[in-house]
């Protein structure tokens, strides 16, 4: 989501300067690639790049093609085959081993549902969205519809497609993506055309709520900022919880534990870390958090501290289920050998990222299989009946 935020910001700046732009989007990958479907890069007519579609090996060639797209005002689907040992034909050294499909489309500011306008609609509200990007994989010379449809979680639909059958099917498939919480790639077959769609699930940025305003949380806020996460700092001490002490935080709250949640909008992308170094405050917060539908509650400190808090909750008649206990991580963080606040912050952020991604945080070297699941590459075929 951070990449989208930066692209939208850069686009607004180019509009003030009166520059033409194009958007490059990775729409499909077969095999290994540094970036996966959904990676984006904004290109300006004078060669400024925001975002990335590779580790740097494709950007130069994509820039040249993007300039052509801007001149012709016509979207283009480009294939980069990094399985080909003859890398020299692209003038780059491709170190991956995959086939990457990148759609480059001109941004027409007069179009109220152009790709950037749809991305802005995603950022405008903190909710999940499904974005549809259509392209013709079988005939690259045919028109490439591009990023054309946005479905928000609240049911709001932006954009349209001339074929009602296709639009109805895409809205049905968008609902399926919301249900499975996984993007999909499908080819729609009719008697007149075949179009492939990248039906992409977009989630709001992680909202990290740090309970505590000690000096040790500063690196946690800094790393979260680099990742594009939203950070809220909560503490009961008004001389600690100040915006001046934490200028990178999005929100700083002074509150008693029982008054915290009423000031927050909590969703599935919200995570909490208890770091006050005040046992009673952390316990009171854990009492508030235990019943929330969230994936991560981190507790700084030794395991015996968390065990004691859980025992006190049980004495009060609060008996967490196994599912509730599974979302509590104490001591918080991955085992990295962390010692100082910066290393501890890295450990905590790494664990949160792993938990939200459904991973264990192990060594990639020890994975018996490829990094990215190959089933994600599968293109499902859908036949649209007259």
Q: Which of 89-98, 154-163, 226-235 has the highest mean pLDDT?
A: 226-235
Mean pLDDT of 313-321: 94
> How many percent of the chain have pLDDT more than 90?
79
Q: Which of 49-53, 149-153, 200-204, 363-367 has the lowest mean pLDDT?
A: 363-367
Strands 98-106 and 207-211: unpaired
User: What's residue 33's pLDDT?
Assistant: 79
Q: What is the token pair recorded at 123?
A: 């950022």
Alpha carbons 342 and 82: distance in angstroms, whole number = 38
SS3 374: helix
Evaluated on CA atoms 71, 91, 42, 122, the torsion sign reads: positive
> What is the pLDDT confidence band of residue 364, given thresholds at 50, 70 and 90?
confident
Alpha carbons 105 and 118: distance in angstroms, whole number = 14
Alpha carbons 154 and 37: distance in angstroms, whole number = 24
Burial class (CB in 10 A: 0-12, 13-18, 19+), 39: buried
What CA–CA distances, in Å, run from 17 to 10, 13, 42, 120, 138?
11, 7, 15, 19, 37
User: For residues 285 and 139, which has the higher predicted lDDT (pLDDT)?
Assistant: 285
Q: Cα 202 to chain center, whole Å?
A: 6
Q: Per residue in 245-254, pLDDT tens? A: 999 999 999 9
User: What's residue 277's pLDDT?
Assistant: 94
Evaluated on CA atoms 113, 118, 123, 124, the torsion sign reads: positive
User: What's residue 83's pLDDT?
Assistant: 74
User: What's residue 85's pLDDT?
Assistant: 60
User: For residues 374 and 116, which has the higher predicted lDDT (pLDDT)?
Assistant: 116
Q: What is the DSSP string of 72-113?
A: HT--EEEEEETT-S-GGGGTS---S-EEEEEEEEE--TT-TT
Mean pLDDT of the chain: 92
Evaluated on CA atoms 236, 242, 243, 247, the torsion sign reads: negative
Mean pLDDT of 317-322: 94
Q: Per residue in 49-93, pLDDT tens? A: 999 998 888 989 999 999 999 999 999 999 998 776 654 445 444
Which residue, chain included where needed, has tokens 């013709």?
136
Residue ranges covered by each domain of the chain: 1-202, 207-362
Q: What is the token pair recorded at 212?
A: 């505590």
The pLDDT of residue 140 is above 90: no
The pLDDT of residue 116 is above 60: yes
Helices (H), the chain: 2-17, 59-72, 115-124, 164-180, 218-227, 279-289, 303-315, 322-326, 341-356
What CA–CA distances, in Å, run from 311 to 84, 289, 308, 314?
60, 16, 5, 5
Q: Cα 339 to chain center, whole Å?
A: 29
Instruction: Provide the 8-state DSSP code for 260.
Output: T
- Run of H or E including 272: strand 270-274
User: What's residue 118's pLDDT?
Assistant: 97
Q: Per residue in 254-300, pLDDT tens? A: 999 999 999 999 999 999 999 999 999 999 999 999 999 999 999 99
- Among candidates 81, 71, 127, which has minimal Cα distance to 101? 81
pTM: 0.90
- Size (the chain), residues: 386
> What is the pLDDT confidence band of residue 375, given thresholds at 50, 70 and 90?
low
Q: Cα 309 to chain center, whole Å?
A: 33
Q: Are 17 and 180 in contact (CB under 8 A)?
A: no
Please name the fold of domain 207-362.
Rossmann fold (3.40.50)
Mean pLDDT of 18-44: 92
Q: Are 217 and 275 in contact (CB under 8 A)?
A: yes
């Amino acid at each position: 989501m951070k990449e989208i935020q930066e692209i939208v910001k850069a686009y607004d700046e180019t509009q003030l300067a009166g520059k033409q732009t194009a958007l490059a989007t990775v729409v499909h990958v077969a095999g290994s690639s540094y970036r996966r479907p959904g990676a984006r890069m904004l290109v300006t007519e004078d060669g400024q790049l925001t975002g990335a579609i590779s580790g740097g090996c494709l950007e130069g060639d994509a820039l040249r093609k993007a300039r052509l797209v801007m001149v012709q005002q016509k979207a283009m689907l480009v294939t980069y085959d990094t399985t080909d040992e003859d890398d020299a034909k692209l003038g780059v050294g491709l170190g991956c081993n995959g086939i990457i499909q990148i759609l480059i489309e001109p941004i027409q500011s007069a179009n109220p549902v152009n790709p950037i306008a749809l991305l802005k609609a995603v950022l405008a509200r903190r909710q999940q969205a499904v974005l549809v990007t259509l392209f013709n994989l079988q005939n690259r010379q045919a028109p490439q519809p591009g990023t054309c449809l946005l479905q928000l979680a609240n049911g709001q639909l932006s954009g349209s497609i001339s074929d009602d059958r296709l639009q109805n099917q895409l809205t049905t498939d968008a609902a399926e993506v919301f249900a499975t919480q996984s993007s999909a790639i499908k080819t729609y077959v009719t008697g007149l055309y075949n179009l492939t769609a990248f039906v992409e699930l977009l989630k709001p940025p992680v909202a990290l709520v740090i309970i505590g305003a000690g000096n040790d949380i500063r690196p946690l806020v800094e790393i979260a900022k680099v990742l594009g996460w939203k950070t809220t700092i909560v503490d009961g001490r008004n001389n600690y919880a100040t915006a001046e002490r934490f200028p990178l935080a999005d929100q700083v709250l002074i509150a008693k534990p029982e008054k915290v949640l009423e000031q927050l909008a909590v969703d599935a992308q919200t995570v909490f870390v208890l770091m006050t170094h005040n046992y009673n405050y952390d316990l009171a917060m854990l009492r508030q958090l235990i019943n929330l539908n969230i994936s991560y509650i981190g507790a700084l400190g030794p395991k015996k501290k968390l065990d004691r808090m859980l025992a006190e909750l049980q004495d009060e008649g609060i008996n967490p289920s196994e599912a509730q206990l599974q979302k509590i991580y104490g001591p918080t963080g991955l085992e990295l050998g962390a010692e100082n606040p910066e290393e501890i912050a890295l450990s905590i952020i790494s664990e949160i990222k792993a938990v939200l991604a459904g991973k264990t945080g192990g060594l990639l070297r020890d994975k018996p299989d490829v990094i990215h699941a190959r089933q994600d590459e599968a293109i499902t075929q859908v036949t649209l009946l007259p």
